[in-house]
Structure 1
């Protein structure tokens, strides 16, 4: 069988969906990656996956340009003739579902990790787009030959309540998974070594980046010797991205150490103690949190959709902090700096949870089960999607 994975960046497909593609390839199926051009696209060939670059502007509002983009997707699908199309992110879900119908793709899976800018922002642009996006989602998602994968129950409730899709067409798969063999705890930290705190994410304001920097400044003023690391790059396609100049200014002031994009995240995580994500964004299930959990780091996050799927109980498998509250974040970090036994205990609990709920082998199998449900609706078991002969 042939599968096409369609996303709005090659970075996303490479970092979040390559493992699923490799599982399908190992079973004898063909996987084609489809995304706008980027620096990660060429890497797919190293893994035996074909990549098709697609000209597409993530932030465009030009109707003519969007029609041309939709036509390009239809053309690719008609040429490739996949058995199943898997679309990622809201825009690709809409365009992929529409194009898939025109190209007569038999089975379509749409995956949305978080509700995204249009639904979470209160800017004039977001409010203007929201009714149109809702209309398009309602028209494209609720189909007999498609299913929607969401990463947390809060989003499932929100989609149904908004009338976008019926409950029976939703499947909840928590996270895109983490390789718990590659992401493992390091040797025990020395109890008196300098605390190192990491925020790893796209550098968007809603991820709590400003609060992270403000907390670092507060603790430095208190005389604490704590290192704050920021991994990630600005996202020019998102209107809430922090500018590179602003991030560089923070680094130049010595408030944080900016690492930029990190290829070896597993290696970086063996050098830190705490993963912080003080997000006030409707996440799916944040990749940085589950990677930190797999490495046995103490987690600090908020009680926001997606984040609460990883830190389920404050003080048990991580710490929860009030959104948009740098003082509260600083207090949580100081607490871990003072109590290394708590730091270790939270890390151990996080690792246990990662093994139980977020191991990518479990997530991939649940995803393959969704493919099976669409491709072989009468079989009713995951065994229906067997390796090709």
Structure 2
């Protein structure tokens, strides 16, 4: 089959869907990556994909630009006639689904997280719900990464429960992410937050917690890893990040093509996010046997069992985050190691990437039978 995978960045396809792509290629399918071109596009080609540049206004809400995207997608699907579309992230899920269905192409959606539009409860929330309802009503499958998001979509009548399925996030490659520590004697205890520099990721609360703990503990480093000045309404500017660095509150590591070395150098991985699908950074940290501090929020609580493989704090509460970080800091090395081991075991039981691939293989085979019943 000719299978299109559409996501809002080539980086996202490569980092989160590599295992799925390799499996589909192994099964003999042709895989086309449809996304805005960036520096990772050539790596997708090297993996065995065809790459098609699809410019996409990721963070904007300009209806003219969105209609242009819809038109471009319809034109592509009419010309290329793929057998199936696998879509991820908001705009591919909405406009990709509408375009595919307008041209008779089956669709499997993946709603990985609801993002700022659902957190803010604004007029934008109403518009996005209307768009999702229209886009998903004829989708063949709609996968969710946690039951809370699925229940919300079903309750709001954005999707029929019969269309839906649950996945353990994007899954984690347990061979690629293995327990490893890269610490030298006398290095500071490092808390590491990995994610785009967005307010919704709890970055501001992390910095406030660093400010509070820095007054009482002097051999501790609070590190940020991820892109600043991201095209998103909740973005934190690079100027603000640099100011925090000058004030001695955090270390900013920029971005990394491969985060494993930074996770290995951390003592604890932190994600004080307001809402997630299933956060990949926490799956990577747990797979590498790192204890975690995260918010008791949708998506995070599915990965972190409080007191077992990490600690959960209240959402948007810098004081409670600081208390949980201090609790983690004061644990013995043995207690933190036990949390890390419990996290690795949880990944093996619940979040192995092979589970996600099995779900997709089954859905694709079912759609193939429905589309070609005589074969």
Query: Please, what TM-score do these two structures have when normalized by structure 2?
Result: 0.94
Measured in 1, the distance between the counterparts of 2:120 and 2:49 equals: 36
- Residues 193 and 132 of structure 1: CA distance in aligned 2, closer, same or farther (over 3 Å): closer
Does residue 160 (structure 1) correspond to residue 159 (structure 2)? The answer is no
Q: Are 2:289 and 2:343, in contact at CA under 8 Å, matched by a contact in 1? A: yes
Partner SS, residue 42 of structure 2:
helix
Partner SS, residue 297 of structure 2:
coil
Measured in 1, the distance between the counterparts of 2:95 and 2:183 equals: 48
CA-CA distance at 1:237 after TM superposition? 2.1
Does residue 82 (structure 1) correspond to residue 76 (structure 2)? The answer is no
CA-CA distance at 1:336 after TM superposition? 2.1
CA-CA distance at 1:193 after TM superposition? 5.7
Measured in 2, the distance between the counterparts of 1:187 and 1:54 equals: 40
Partner SS, residue 284 of structure 1:
coil
In structure 2, runs of 5+ residues without a counterpart are none
Tell me the equivalent position of 2:317: 325
Equivalent residue runs for 1:201-240 within 5 Å: 201-234=195-228, 236-240=230-234
Q: Are 1:195 and 1:225, in contact at CA under 8 Å, matched by a contact in 2? A: yes
Tell me the equivalent position of 2:116: 117
How many residues align? The count is 373
The worse-fitting range, judged by mean Cα deviation, of 150-159 and 258-267 is 258-267
Partner SS, residue 314 of structure 2:
coil
Equivalent residue runs for 1:99-118 within 5 Å: 99-105=99-105, 107-118=106-117
CA-CA distance at 1:189 after TM superposition? 6.6
Residues 140-177 of structure 1 deviation map (CA, whole Å, 9 limit, x = unaligned): 2122x511111000001100111111111111102101
- Residues 90 and 188 of structure 1: CA distance in aligned 2, closer, same or farther (over 3 Å): closer
Partner SS, residue 11 of structure 1:
helix
The worse-fitting range, judged by mean Cα deviation, of 46-55 and 199-208 is 46-55
Q: RMSD across aligned C-alpha pairs, in angstroms?
A: 2.1
The worse-fitting range, judged by mean Cα deviation, of 286-295 and 48-57 is 48-57
Q: Which runs of 4+ in 1 moved over 6 A?
A: 188-192
Measured in 2, the distance between the counterparts of 1:139 and 1:371 equals: 22
Match of 1:315 among 287, 307, 321: 307
Partner SS, residue 186 of structure 1:
coil
Q: Are 2:110 and 2:143, in contact at CA under 8 Å, matched by a contact in 1? A: yes
Tell me the equivalent position of 2:296: 303
Partner SS, residue 260 of structure 1:
coil
Residues 163-196 of structure 1 deviation map (CA, whole Å, 9 limit, x = unaligned): 1111111111021011111111125978976321
In structure 1, runs of 5+ residues without a counterpart are none
